[in-house]
Amino acid sequence: MVKPAVLFVCLGNICRSPLAEAAFRQQASAAGLDVLVDSAGTADYHVGEPPDPRAIRTALRFGMDMADYRGRQVSADDFVRFTHIFVADRSNLLNLHRVAPQDHAAQIGLLLDLIPGREGMDLTDPWYGDEAGFLETWSDVSAAARHLVALLER
């Protein structure tokens, strides 16, 4: 079997997708899963920047240090390097399809499609709100990560 490679995508790559990356790294590592993990944004607003300080603090509360993560923008290459791409919301799913090369093997879907009962839904962007929103994001991305680990273990 090909080694799975998972990319999490949001708009800025400073809030939702780094948190999804951290939650999945944590759980994949606990499960002993050999997988490549990364995150990216569809926009270039925060390229080279660390995640939002509120996101860093939230992940730290759950034992994950994201201080070294740096924002980057999705590239055509990602559709070849990654076997699975999970997107935070429908707007960025559209953005992603716009930059996808004609044929690629990567499976693309919404992150919340991983959670039974939440298929088709958007992951709320905590960027516009307060710190409590980041806790909710952590809870959502952790639930998605649990399902993804189970899926990849099969």
- Residue number with CB closer to ligand 4NP (58 or 152): 58
Q: H or E stretch including 70?
A: none
C-alpha to C-alpha distance for 130 and 121, rounded to whole angstroms: 21
Our answer to whether residue 10 is catalytic in this structure is: yes
Rounded distance, CA 122 to CA 12, Å? 15
Residues 73-112 vs ligand 4NP: string with x where CB under 6 A?
A: ----------------------------------------
Q: Which stretch binds ligand 4NP (CB under 6 A): 7-15, 62-70, 76-84, 108-116?
A: 7-15
Closest contact distance (angstroms) between CB of 25 and ligand 4NP is 17
CA atoms within 13 A on the CB side of 102: 0
Helix or strand (DSSP H, E) at 38: strand 36-41
For ligand 4NP, the binding residue among 11, 20, 144, 149 (CB under 6 A) is 11
Is 125 near ligand 4NP (CB under 6 A)? yes
Q: How far apart are CA 29 and CA 32, in angstroms?
A: 5
- Give residues in contact with ligand 4NP (CB under 6 A): 10-16, 45, 125, 127
